[in-house]
Amino acid sequence: MSKNLARVVAALQAAGVDAVPLEMPGETRTAVQAAAAAGCALDQIVKSILFKGEASGRLYLFLTAGGNQVDAGLAAALAGEPMGRADADEVRRVTGFAIGGVSPVGHLTPLPVWFDPRLLEFAVIWGAAGTPRHIFPIAPAELLRITGATVAGFVG
């Protein structure tokens, strides 16, 4: 088991969540790939989108439904500062994950997190498990609880 996958499993177990990551036969780097692999609707995939505060340099995590796009203006209003996309090196340094496998849990550094209300419309959603081939099923309320996220509108 890779160290990234192990970190996700440990985070889920520490939070008391009985979710088991599954290895898919193909890549799950994109929401479309993950939905096809899981056999679910695109919006049941949790995308972990990171933005960087232009003033603070801090990273902010937005957990959004697979078919949605984060609106940078709405995200900036929530964070209280203008933001741009975080680059791949920053994402890896702060979360421990490469883009395309960023899990909503198990980050190296705690982050402020916002949660797309669209995700709450499903019984089960799927998050990346730290690799480009692993995803895990979880109830949206459980993911909201264990991430400490704030439900907010940030999609355009």
Query: Does 83 fall in a domain?
Result: yes
> Is residue 11 scored above 90 in pLDDT?
yes
> Is residue 92 scored above 90 in pLDDT?
yes
Determine how many CB atoms are found less than 10 A away from the CB of residue 133: 21
**CB environment 70-91: b (16+ within 10 A), e (fewer):** bebebbbebbebebeebeeeeb
- Tell me the pLDDT band of 1, cut-offs 50, 70 and 90: confident
Query: Does 60 fall in a domain?
Result: yes
Query: Does 40 fall in a domain?
Result: yes
The CATH number of the domain holding residue 125 is: 3.90.960.10
59-77 tens-digit pLDDT: 999 999 999 999 999 999 9
Residues 57 and 68: their CA atoms lie apart, in Å, by: 25
Number of residues that make up the chain? 156
- Tell me the pLDDT band of 97, cut-offs 50, 70 and 90: very high
Query: Does 112 fall in a domain?
Result: yes
Q: What is the mean pLDDT of residues 146-151?
A: 98
Residue 100 has a pLDDT of 86
Query: Does 51 fall in a domain?
Result: yes
Query: Does 68 fall in a domain?
Result: yes
Residue 49 has a pLDDT of 96
Give the count of domains, the chain. Answer: 1
Query: Does 9 fall in a domain?
Result: yes
- Tell me the pLDDT band of 156, cut-offs 50, 70 and 90: confident
CA angle in degrees (0–180, nearest 5) for 151-154-156 = 145
- Tell me the pLDDT band of 38, cut-offs 50, 70 and 90: very high
Query: Does 34 fall in a domain?
Result: yes
- pTM (predicted TM-score): 0.95
**CB environment 11-22: b (16+ within 10 A), e (fewer):** bbeebebebebe
Average pLDDT, the chain: 96
Closest CA to 60 of 96, 15, 90: 90
* Residue 16 belongs to domain spanning: 3-151
